[in-house]
Chain A
Amino acid sequence: MDRKARGSELVSSEVHPEAAPLPGGHSDDGVEVTAPASAFKKRLASAERAFDGALQTLVVLSLFAELAIVVADFVGRDVFGHALLWDEEVSVLPLSVLTFVGAALAYARGKSLSVKIITARVPAVAAVAPVVQDVTTLVFAVVLGVASVPYLQSVWSTTTPILGLRTTYLACPIELGMVAFVVYAVLRLAVRTWSELARGIVALVAILVVLAIAWGISVAAGVGPVPVDSVLLFCALLAFGSPIAVAFTLASTAYLALSNHAGRLFETVPTTMQGAVTTTILLAIPFFILAGYLLSDGGLSRGLVRFADDCVGRVRGGLMHVVTVSMFLFSGLSGSKLADVSAVGTAVEREYAERGESREQLASVLAVTAIMGETVPPSTSIIILGSITALSIGSLFIGGILPAVVLGLLIVTVTHFSSQKLRDRTIPKVGMWARAQHLIAAVPAFAVIGIIVGGITSGNVTPTESSALAVALGLLIVLLSRRRAIVRTPAVVGRDLWGMAVSVAVLVGTVQLIVAGASVTSYALQIGNATTEFELWLGGIHSQYLFLALMVVALPIVGSILEGLPALLVLGPPLLSVATSLGVNGTQFGIVLIIGLGFGTFLPPIGVGYLFTCEVVDAEPRAVSRKMIPYLAAIFVGLVAVAYIPQVTLIL
């Protein structure tokens, strides 16, 4: 096996001391720092390597320990009739490690997710952006790190139900992650020249001056200065390419601090962030990514994709249609959009690229099919909507099927027309015998899929557990296939696994940190009563058509900022009551809500799902956003159809 796993490519630069990341040498602005290596810098670099290695060890151990716990739980329950009981409460720890330590590792590798619209177009901004990014990240880490001390103290009295563990122990990775962020930010700033630093500071002061002026103007105009400045700060941080998570957290913390709310404010920020990223359902995401890497590395994906290519390779956009169908089926199992993308995306990404498929198109198709999958039962969003409103979950499930089919057909149509040039390569004619061989080679992959599907539909494993099962099967297959090939020693397999686990942590950390930051924004909006004002304003609308028009435009934007679920919790009940009072069918509007907010999650430039998908398939976000335009238009058409044609939802 000559191909290197995505993870093992990283390994070579992460485990071997000679290639460890050097301070400043891996900044995402592409400016290589070429200062002469002094003795001080050498010592600094070796200290960073040791630090980085320790953090890697932590994330790798967390991931595999959690895997062992989940597998032990369902094997114990289903085979021996005795569940672990404490697995869920303990899962907070690895999730917290993957989020906060993983995000720090991602930052050190220049992989924090940011918006590059301005920095790519305005050279003056690009010149100062790296220092602004590092300084704002440093401020973020210091604020959150300091706030986490009283937070960790305040949960000292709180324990978990079964094991009686103190919440403080489970939550301490947030503090560790912030320390790591501080270390990396300082190291990155330490290798900047004085003039770079000075220009960066000037830019930061300029931002503060603009904020001060805006404050003055707002006061004079009788507008609340705090919301205005918070929004401006958010935009400024995004414009200079600061990590999106940093922008969310700093802008909302500033809002909370300046709007003079009662209580020990700063502890609230880590409380909210920790809560947002430690729900058990999120565990499926790292496991499905790891499973995808393993299936890819073990050659299973190759068999599957080759077989699919035999079947549909001659159809225009054939392999992309395979993704669409896979996502439809997979979303019928998992209930979580990002888990769907993780599972399908990581499994096919490398094979597709090797077959000349465009990564940008793959990312686009994955993202929009994830929106489609949101209304395929089961769906976490639908269950939550059903449990906070009077709507029947069963009717929502049935009502969501046809809209998903409509969206699927729209996606297939766009793929068909945008794939014209992609598949004009000559495809060698494959004989019957070769096809049969390919089918046989695909059998192990079908077996894995069969075991997972069977496990979930029979009720023997939950979707989260199925993700762990997929990893376990993937590991088994990698070990077996390698033993047969005698290409790699166990040490090499171990090193590859290490690299994969670090990649998983980097990927999960970047996305989870945004989810955490967005949760602070959502908290600030609720405490600031913004939703009540929105609702009052909506009360002035008396036309069903106008209201729905507003919804199909506003829901994606709101969903993009508030990251789906919080938006659903806050806006679901009031919007539904307005809708039904205007005569819109509740189930129909429920589906509009789910698709609209899901659309937002995958909307460029800051939708978490969109950024996540780009990372999963290793595609450049801006190129993806261009490729996505026709797809987004199609989804929008579908959303409008669901909003204005009740039959789409209600006929089944």
Chain B
Amino acid sequence: SSSGSSSVNSSNSSKSGSSGKKYTVIGSCPVPQNASQCDILEYTAQDATSLSGGQLQFQLHYNSDLGTPGQVQTLLQQNQVQLAVTSTSDLTAVVGEFDLFNLPFLFSGFPAVHAVTAGPAGAALISELNSSAHIKLLGWEDEGFSQLLSRTGFVNSISDLKGQKIRVIADPLLTTTYSSLGAIPVPSTQAEVYTGYQTGEFSVAPFSAGIVLANKWQEVAKYFTVVGTGAGYTENTLIANPSFLSSLPANLATDLQKAVSEAEQKADTGIDAENAQDMNLLKTDGVHFSTMPSASVAAWKQEATQKVYPVFTSKYGSSLLNEAQASISG
């Protein structure tokens, strides 16, 4: 079923004493159950249920039915929700440094992302989140690189963006990224994107193919310009309430962490194939595809690095960015 909330029942209650005390874990994912963003939560719930022999029980909520991602973060801090999928952009509300993932052209591909999350920059972010916001980051989940979806035509060079209204999430790095190219950034919520394209409130927006499909924006915007791995990136995380974790007996805490590590692997497996499949689905829905010439991408990268990186470093210092760049090139 594609339930709004569902329970994951133990399929294997033979291990580690099913007679032990049961712990209910309320988990939340902001999008529908079948969206790939929820994979890390679902795999974790399945594996942890069986590893703990049913002592850990999961009640999963989807579709923001407990509130917006920001509200769910607050509920998680209050230990009403114990486990949640949230994007790094949403985490910037509590630890601004997570904006690192919104820096344009930082990551050349998923290996670069993994180098950063597994390296000192990732560790620094995790520790800052725990100490200043009392949120424990348990795992990372790859989402995808943004391309440009337009209703009016392809974006073949950065000058094509001049004067165009471009929809972005409200984030200073993203608005700077596009205003530095002469575009007019229009921040709006996801719910407003469909009609925004329809009425022409904006003409273009950076999205991955998967998120376009999930929200059916291909119904109202038909031009997809592939920029490659650069212009923007979205990373998801699995977060937990630290006092809930410390209330668990040691063996169950270990089971949960083990389940998360396995889920991290499974969720990120085959992500390139998934992306290719998403693009094909868009093509069958009548979306036209074009690839931005590499010279244009290079010009964009040049511009973005000059204008946007200083915005980040002036706010958070340069050590985090330096560490990230060192991990990527090392």
Contact = CB atoms under 8 A, between A and B. Distances in A.
Interface of A: 77, 81-83, 85-86, 88-89, 154-155, 157-162, 164, 167, 261-265, 267-268, 271-272, 275, 279-281, 335, 378, 380, 383-384, 386-389, 392-394, 456-462, 523, 526-527, 529, 531-532, 535, 566, 569-574, 576-577
Contacts of B78: 154, 263-264, 267-268, 271
B246 interface: no
Contact of A158 (B70, B184, B195): B70
A157 B94 contact: yes
17 contacts: A77-B184, A82-B179, A88-B188, A268-B78, A280-B189, A378-B195, A387-B190, A387-B214, A388-B32, A392-B219, A393-B216, A461-B201, A523-B66, A527-B80, A529-B5, A529-B7, A531-B3
A85 B187 contact: yes
B3 A387 contact: no
B32 A158 contact: no
Interface in B207-238: 214-216, 219-220
Nearest to A160: B93
Contacts of B184: 77, 81-83
A529 B59 contact: yes
A574 B195 CA distance: 26
Contacts of A386: 194, 215-216
A456 B198 CA distance: 10
B194 A570 contact: no
Interface in B162-214: 163, 165, 169-172, 175, 179, 184-192, 194-196, 198-202, 214
B192 A162 contact: no
B145 interface: no
A275 B66 CA distance: 10
B26 interface: yes
A526 B5 CA distance: 8
Given A158-B70, A389-B32, A527-B80, 13 more contacts: A160-B93, A264-B79, A271-B74, A275-B70, A384-B191, A393-B219, A394-B216, A526-B61, A526-B65, A531-B3, A531-B4, A572-B4, A577-B1
A573 B3 contact: yes
A85 B74 contact: no
B4 A459 contact: no
A271 B93 contact: no
B161 to A, nearest CB: 13
Contacts of A571: 4
B77 interface: yes
Name the residue among A158, A378, A460 with the largest chain B CB count within 10 angstroms: A158
A268 B93 CA distance: 19
Given A159-B93, A162-B172, A164-B96, A458 B65 contact: no
Nearest to A576: B2
A154 B24 CA distance: 23
A260 B7 CA distance: 19
Interface in B27-72: 31-33, 59, 61-68, 70-71
Contact of A265 (B80, B132, B219): B80
Interface residues of B, number: 69
Given A265-B80, A529-B7, A573-B2, A271 B63 contact: no
B244 interface: yes
Contacts of A280: 189
Contact of A535 (B1, B198, B219): B1
Chain A interface, DSSP helix/strand/loop, else mixed = helix
Contacts of A157: 94, 132-133
Contacts of B4: 526, 531, 569-574
Contacts of B132: 157
Contacts of A527: 26, 66, 80
Given A89-B170, A263-B79, A532-B6, A383 B194 contact: yes
Nearest to A571: B4
B219 A158 contact: no
Contacts of A335: 195
Contacts of A88: 170, 187-189
Nearest to A386: B216
Contacts of B215: 386-387
B87 interface: no
B146 interface: no
Contact of B216 (A392, A529, A576): A392
B292 interface: no
Given A523-B66, A569-B63, A459 B199 contact: yes
B227 to A, nearest CB: 23
A635 B66 CA distance: 31
Contacts of B70: 158, 275
A459 B274 CA distance: 34
A532 B93 CA distance: 32
A263 B172 contact: no
A280 B71 CA distance: 15
A535 B24 CA distance: 20
B73 interface: yes
Contact of B96 (A154, A159, A535, A569): A159
A154 B244 contact: no
A458 B201 CA distance: 8
Contacts of B96: 159, 164
A535 B80 contact: no
A85 B167 CA distance: 11
B92 interface: yes
B164 to A, nearest CB: 10
Contacts of B63: 388, 569-570, 572-573
A265 B79 CA distance: 8
A322 B219 CA distance: 33
Which 9 A-B pairs give the minimum distances between C-beta atoms? Answer: A459-B200, A263-B79, A459-B199, A275-B71, A263-B80, A394-B219, A388-B63, A569-B65, A570-B4
Contact of B75 (A83, A158, A271): A271
Given A89-B170, A529-B5, A573-B3, A158 B74 contact: yes
Interface in B112-146: 132-133
Given A154-B77, A164-B96, A262-B244, A573 B6 contact: no
B176 to A, nearest CB: 10
Nearest to B241: A263
B75 A268 contact: yes
Contacts of B93: 158-161, 167
Contacts of B169: 161
Nearest to A265: B80
A267 B81 CA distance: 13
Contacts of B216: 386-387, 392-394
B75 A462 contact: no
B74 A154 contact: yes
B250 to A, nearest CB: 19
Contacts of A162: 170-172, 175, 187
B1 A85 contact: no
A83 B186 contact: yes
Contacts of A81: 163, 184
A642 B114 CA distance: 51
A25 to B, nearest CB: 40
Contacts of A529: 5, 7, 59
Nearest to B172: A162
Nearest to A150: B78
B199 A532 contact: no
A83 B185 contact: yes
A538 B195 CA distance: 34
Contacts of B201: 459-462
